[in-house]
Amino acid sequence: MTEITHAIRTPIHPLWLRLSHWLNALAVLVMVASGWRIYNASPLFPFRFANDLTLGGWLGGAIQWHFAAMWLLVANGLLYLLVNVASGRLWRQFLLLSPRAFCADLKAVLHGRLSHADPRRYNTAQRAAYLFVMLDILLLVLSGLVLWQSVQFPLLRELLGGYEVARYVHFFAMAALVAFVAVHLAMVALVPRTLLTMIRGR
Ligand code: HEM
């Protein structure tokens, strides 16, 4: 098999990645919508989220949705990380970046035209955004653990500044995730063929 046929036959996004991506999107949607309902029961700020945008109907129902989706988010996230680390993909696709490629991408960003020419390789902006959201979800899970089992995780609780501060950390990490999703959807709308590859693999 020539290199070209191999490249054509190998999916851009393998099946495990697509499954993991869409399960993660579902878990995030459920967690955010139920989280807003939980927030409404005891708001940190002088506003509430519109009930129509929330999930669970009432505090108890929202907590059940939140905990159910939490297992999906964590199990799926761990599997995603495991495959990415074990296969070296995390390093190749997200971390390894030659100074030359970085400068070229930086120049393109400043000129307002960042390339999507090679769908197998993410540009610097994509790498930065995806690494950011991975770390942000990690922070959401860790601060969530403190809110859920504060007594069982005293070190984590103190590292996050105590229970009350962990609530703010959890809120702002949620806000950052929602901002990521908004930009992510705008980028997908700008380059719709990337959506097809995330669905069909090619
Ligand atoms: C809701 C939370 C979401 C999160 C946290 C998220 C996160 C990510 C991440 C980390 C990647 C890179 C995956 C990898 O290569 O390992 C990615 C790729 C992608 N996502 Fe999402 N995503 C979300 C929702 C969505 C939704 C709703 C859509 C479409 C409507 C979407 C469309 C895509 C597409 C098309 C790609 C490939 C982009 C490309 O080739 O540059 N995502 N997403």
42-54 pLDDT tens trace: 999 999 999 999 9
- Atom number of ligand 1 nearest to Cα 130: 10
- Distance from the CA of 80 to the center of ligand 1, in angstroms? 13
Q: How confident is the model at residue 157 (pLDDT cuts 50, 70, 90)?
A: very high
Q: How confident is the model at residue 96 (pLDDT cuts 50, 70, 90)?
A: confident
**Residue range 154-182: average pLDDT?**
97
pLDDT above 90 covers a percentage of the chain that reads 74
Give the binding-site residues of ligand 1, using a 6 Å CB cut-off: 17, 21, 24-25, 28-29, 119, 126, 130, 133, 181, 184-185, 188, 194-195, 198
Q: Is the pTM of this model over 0.85?
A: yes
Closest CA to 95 of 119, 134, 128, 48: 128
**DSSP secondary structure, 33-55, as one string:** HHHHHHHHHS-SSS----GGG-S
Q: What is the pLDDT of residue 106?
A: 73
Q: For position 105, what pLDDT does the model report?
A: 76
pLDDT above 60 (res 104): yes
| Mean pLDDT across the chain | 91
Task: Evaluate whether 99 touches 124 at the Cβ level (below 8 Å).
Answer: no
- For the segment 22-34, the average pLDDT, to the nearest whole number, is 98
Confidence class of residue 116 from pLDDT cuts 50, 70 and 90? low
DSSP state of 94: I
